Structure 1
Amino acid sequence: QLTANAVDKGIYRHYMQKEMFEQPAAIAETLEGRFVNQRLLDNTFGHNAAEVFDNIKSVQILACGTSYHAGLVAKYWFERLARVPCQIEIASEFRYRHPVLAVDALIVTISQSGETADTLAALQEAKRLGAKHTLAVCNVPESSLVRASDLVLMTRAGPEIGVASTKAFTTQLTALMLLVIAIGRRFELSAEMEQKLTAELFNLPARVEAVLQLDDQIKQLAEQFSDKQHALFLGRGSQYPIAMEGALKLKEISYIHAEAYPAGELKHGPLALIDADMPVVVVAPNNNLLEKLQSNMQEVSARGGQLIVFMDETLTAEAHENMQVIKIPAVANEIAPIIFTIPLQLLSYHVAILKGTDVDQPRNLAKSVTVE
């Protein structure tokens, strides 16, 4: 529901800026009432969710755009944390390739609006192919996607007016972690890991608030992009989809051509693009992939590339002439994708301001893609 408060920018210059700073409250709202005595309730997904979750053997995610990036992170979580087989596909592709569906798969669709035409059509195709169980992750309770799904997890982000998604994305990730917990405990998610994830989720609003305090620092960093036409984003593991989301945000609102790659693919082509006019943004949390990521960073630096590195504050890599480091408050690896998306949102916002674009209504784009 649009309220007077939702359409009032208040102290903020743009809706996107307001919505970025609403993320701690939005995430808290996503979590509100879902737990009893620190345990996630199955019925938060629907009255018969427990029965459905007891009988599924895998997960198939369908989504578009930013929601697809959220689903990619969820695939890492499902398989790494709980050993739940998980496939993900862009909804518009799923529709046309005559896919083979696992008999006992849970079809998970993700859409902020619940009206994304390709996602709705992909859901109908999955049903036509015999899908028995469907779940929607959505922000609009009365939407077509919610009505067409057996189970529902509302993200409760509140109205998002800026075309470039911010709080809808982080609340989707939060909601998907809830789904990973609910399904994962029926597979190989240990009780200890469930407790850890629950504690991390409860701490998440405060962690996001802390990252938002880096706004002024990132605003200064954005000046490096003011005369650039291209940018490269690198990540590994569950941070690769976050690199993809960072590149999409920069494209959408600053009109800079940006691409994201898994860092290990750098030598397989993108390295040819690296020069002083191609800034490279690296998402480098403190995890077991860091050593290889650092070698990628050295390859970029040796070729005169400008590196902008968002890394865990516990790491020791120091800035030098070709590398700027933004330290992100330390967080558990499992939750890191949610935290590391925040500075990339802030970066794209401040670059767009410098470029003088229409941040809330970028050219050629619509908030909800209701046509095919």
Structure 2
Amino acid sequence: MSSSHVLVLNCGSSSLKFAIIDIESGAEVLCGLAECLAEQHPLIKYKYDGAKQTITLNEGDAHQIAIARLVELVKHLGLDEQLIAVGHRVVHGGEHFTHSVLIDDNVLQAIKQTSTLAPLHNPANLLGIEAAKTAFSTLPQVAVFDTAFHQTMKPQAFLYALPYSLYKNHGIRRYGFHGTSHYYVSTQAHQILGLDKNNSRIVSAHLGNGCSVTAIKNGQSVDTSMGLTPLEGLMMGTRSGDIDPGIFAFLVNQLKYSPTQVDLLLNKQSGLLGISELSNDCRTIEEAATNGHEQAKLALDIFCYRLAKQIAAFAVPLAGLDALIFTGGIGENSDVIRSNVVSQLEFLGLQLDNNKNLAARFGQQGVITSSNSPCAIVIPTNEEWVIATDSAAIAKEQ
């Protein structure tokens, strides 16, 4: 049997998502999640050969312990001899990285430097990298950046109207995120719809607990809704998205919030959760709205209105629209939100096909508009596949 497996690691502040992917077949050989790390009741949940299993960790066990247990599991299952690389999702690459790279000391230093732009994400990503380097010392380690796909944006799209010195001296600009997802689904859209990559206008909407929209012209990102951090842009599960920056000063000066409290409010207590006062889970909110819960209805209305407005705005840099992609947990499963958004975009020529929209749920790919309409399509994202294929290609060059 030839070696063709890549271990993909996505290390968060208190979790570790992992998968072993067979590059030749595209199959997920092993997948799972270590959660509640460094907290009470940490555990690893994984799926192998169709069966779901759980490994209990000791209270307070951290990423290094979780990866060590993952290594034990991989060896126990006999999968270690098939590994050719370890691929790491890194949230923020700043302006250092425009593509995936082999991790060396210079790359590690650049990721550390960029941690000031992503203090909640990059340090956790570095924990995963360091632990994996120790556990898989003979394997190439590859970094795949959420921000890399958006490095094709021009200054008119990525600069804020702030003193230029803040960009020049501190790197304050729009970077964008979910780039791996936007890249994957737009590539799929070109293939599925037969679009010419050198002459195409696509808007990709990645909708989950975090949400972003990207304008993709001729295969390249030309604008995106997230900014310096993943807080900017759309209304999300718990994030506010765009607000008047003056609210920060009002909260601090008038309501005596601390900066930490403001950060918590905007990132963890706002969005769908903040408006509905029920949940950040779209399924829960849709069910409540159906049952007459007024704040749940309002949360969905705001979410859909802001999403439709952002999609329409991105018709400007694209000078038109060939395809609109819905992806991510909400984008792939919520026919309610897709219907609401497409109905607000009828002036762009979009016409929803209700039966197709209902059919495109639960992992099902499909066009959801009528045949005489610009295309709106649901494409399940697969960021792990992009990380795995990039890592395999770089490993084979070594």
Q: Which has the higher helix share?
A: 1
Instruction: Note whether the superposition's TM-score is higher than 0.5.
Output: no
Larger Rg computed on CA atoms:
2
TM-score, structure 2 normalization: 0.32
Higher relative contact order (CA 8 A, sep 6+): 1
